[in-house]
Homo-oligomer: A and B are copies of this chain.
Amino acid sequence: MELAAKRFAENGYHPTSVAEIVEGLSVGKGVFYWYFSSKEELFTEILAGAYRDLRHRQGEAIGDASDPLVRIERGVRASMEWSVEHRDVFRLFQLAAGEARFASILRKGEKGAVSDAARHIQSAMDAGLVPRGDPILLAHAMLGVTTHLVQRHLLDGGKQVIDDAVAFCMRGVLGQPDA
């Protein structure tokens, strides 16, 4: 169960005890350690599942669009929508970033999303739709924008953050600076 995710999101990884989780689930610790070999594994499992879900959502959103720019835009939008909907899980990414232990899983998941985006950017470059540049770096820049703006949105709750974020990203990959 991922009420654990909520607890982690609320209090952080270390401050959330296994006792607290199993109590919330009204089960004994025994059951917990039957499903997961450790607290760390539970967290890892949640993270991995989250990335799977997010990726799936992106694929779904992109659908069969053929224009690389449309694919990028839909992917970005889907990521942000997903993050807002699953704010607890999204928060876990942040938590995991602060724990060296989880760096590798985080990196792996991030790499997946980034390389997808980078592929689309590469296509766009090949098609002459956008200026040449490092696609991976651009993908990371977009990831930075979306992540941070989702974070901000969850705190202050602006209205159309997603549209603005998408626009910012597209300008970043499309636009000529000051020719």
Contact = CB atoms under 8 A, between A and B. Distances in A.
A6 interface: no
Copies of this chain, tallied across the complex: 2
A95 B168 CA distance: 27
Given A148-B143, A178-B174, A138 B168 contact: yes
B149 A140 contact: yes
A99 B12 contact: yes
A175 B164 contact: no
Interface of A is mostly: helix
Interface in A77-129: 94-100, 107
Scoring A10, A95, A147, A175 by chain B CB atoms within 10 A of each residue's CB, the highest score goes to A175
Contact-residue size bin, chain A (C-beta under 8 Å from the other chain): 35 or more
Contact of A140 (B96, B100, B152, B178): B152
A137 interface: yes
Contacts of A13: 98
Nearest to A144: B148
A144 B168 CA distance: 11
Contacts of A161: 137
Contacts of A176: 171, 175
Contact of A11 (B100, B155, B175): B100
